[in-house]
Chains A and B, each alone.
Chain A
Amino acid sequence: MKDQWTDRLSEYLDGDLTAGERTALEAHLAACGVCRVTLDELRRVVARAQALDDRPPAADLWPGIAEHIGVVSLAARRVDGRGRRRLSFTMPQLAAAAVALALFSAGSARLLFRNRPPSPTQGTTAIMTNVGMSPLDARTAASVAALEENLARNRGQLDTATVRVIEKNLGIIDRAIRDAQSALAADPANAYLNQHLAQETRRKLELLRQAATLASARS
């Protein structure tokens, strides 16, 4: 059975009726059992919709996406065909890798800078962080700042050994960043140095992200 109010029940449920319409409908509900039942069912439909679980696709879509955008997946198929094996790294492994890479690339930057003749632009241009910062650079800097703040806030969740490793590696990466910035101050157009600075900044972002994840897992 349907009356003139049945089609307004969803609006009533969503709070979309005027005060006058709401009062009238509530008066009708007091007298109409059919509308009360319908309203209750509509409420349950909304609740059911909000409780639906999200399900992943039956097959992993990442290999197709990775191929399309030209990146390599962390997941590698086992040679024996028993399925996928995800490569995983422990915090110390990641930290050691960060140290090795940072030392290597910082050393490369120093060598390159030491062996190069002075650039014609030397002494006339401010350091990279102040010149031509792209929106992406600015966002990366903002992310680094947010994660540094997060780490400071949550470092109490990590044990001292972990904090020591993280801070040691952040110090190394920061030194590499400062070296790159100093070198760029003398030679701002140097493609290698710009790439090196971006790489070190990404490395710092990655290390901070790992630390934030580790800290939040303990919260």
Chain B
Amino acid sequence: MPYRITHMELTIPRVATLRRDPDQAAKDAETADAALAASGDGRAFERLYRTHVARVHSLVRRMIGPDHADDVAQDVFIRAWTKLSTFRGDAAFGTWLHRLAVNVILARRSTVGTERSRIDDSEHVWEGVAGRPAAPEMSMDFEAAIGRLPEGARQVFVLHDIEGYHHEEIADMLGIVTGTSKSQLHHARMALRRHLDRG
């Protein structure tokens, strides 16, 4: 039977006046797990995996599509395991893992992207996303619409509007100029507004 806490009792005077910060406690626990994992503790790494897999997999899926998402997400965690010794705990583990995931995705995008037709950035591709469906049952949901964006616009949109990176960071990551990042973002938003009520 799991251990149950049946009552609360303050064992240190004035402790109740301290402001509790559950987020900080969770961050401390994650930092501890990262340290344990770095020393070879697979259980600690599994806890980190279970905490972050949904976010990492969603990022991968949105950036390069569902076909390769499992492989790339798995690769992210394998890379994280081998690079745990470089995690210094300055930022949250999730932030470190997320940046690592972006790097893995961008390294894989050239091989994955060449297999995909949506790398085509021509006008008819934009029309395919932007066109308002004739009937609701033919509509695609918002996630699917993101997946139909041309590759460059999709990556900028995901990194900026979903993941919260700045244009300067995105330009650096993708090897483009800031103006291109802004332009791609605007085109992506303009295309996606047609699918607002269908997600």
- Complex: how many Å from CA A216 to CA B35? 20
Q: Is the interface of B mostly helix, strand, loop or mixed?
A: helix
Partner of B193, one of A44, A66, A219: A44
Cα–Cα distance between A42 and B196 once the two chains are bound (Å): 10
B193 in contact with A42 (CB, 8 Å) = yes
Of residues 168 through 198 on chain A, the ones whose CB sits less than 8 Å from some CB of chain B are: 198
B18 at the A interface (CB under 8 A):
yes
* Interface residue total, chain B, C-beta cutoff 8 A: 69
Stretch of A25-33, A105-113, A207-215 with 4 or more beta carbons under 8 angstroms from chain B: A207-215
Task: List, in ascending order, chain B residues with CB within 8 A of A218's CB.
Answer: 5, 8
Is the C-beta of A120 less than 8 angstroms from some C-beta in chain B? no
Chain B residues in 8 Å Cβ range of A150:
24-25, 28
Contacting residue for A56 out of B20, B57, B89, B189, CB 8 A: B57
Q: Do B157 and A90 touch (CB < 8 A)?
A: no
A153 nearest CB across to chain B (Å): 6
B41 in contact (CB, < 8 A): yes
Is A46 within 8 A of B31, CB to CB? no
* B101 within 8 Å of A (CB atoms): no
Residues A155 and B39 in contact in the complex (CB < 8 Å), given A9-B186, A44-B196, A54-B55: no
A53-B58 Cα distance, complex, nearest whole Å: 8
0/1 per residue, B154-169, Cβ < 8 Å to A? Answer: 0001000110000100
**Contact in complex: A160, B11 (CB < 8 Å):** yes
A128–chain B nearest beta-carbon distance, Å: 15
**Does A77 reach chain B (CB closer than 8 Å)?**
no
Known contacts A42-B190, A90-B2, A156-B11; A219/B70 CB under 8 A: no
A23 within 8 A of B: no
B32–A205 CB distance below 8 A: yes
A-B contact pairs, 29 of them (CB 8 A): A41-B196, A46-B189, A52-B142, A56-B53, A57-B70, A61-B74, A62-B49, A62-B50, A62-B53, A69-B82, A92-B3, A140-B35, A143-B31, A143-B89, A147-B32, A150-B24, A150-B28, A153-B18, A154-B25, A155-B12, A157-B8, A202-B39, A202-B41, A205-B35, A208-B32, A209-B29, A214-B5, A215-B25, A219-B25
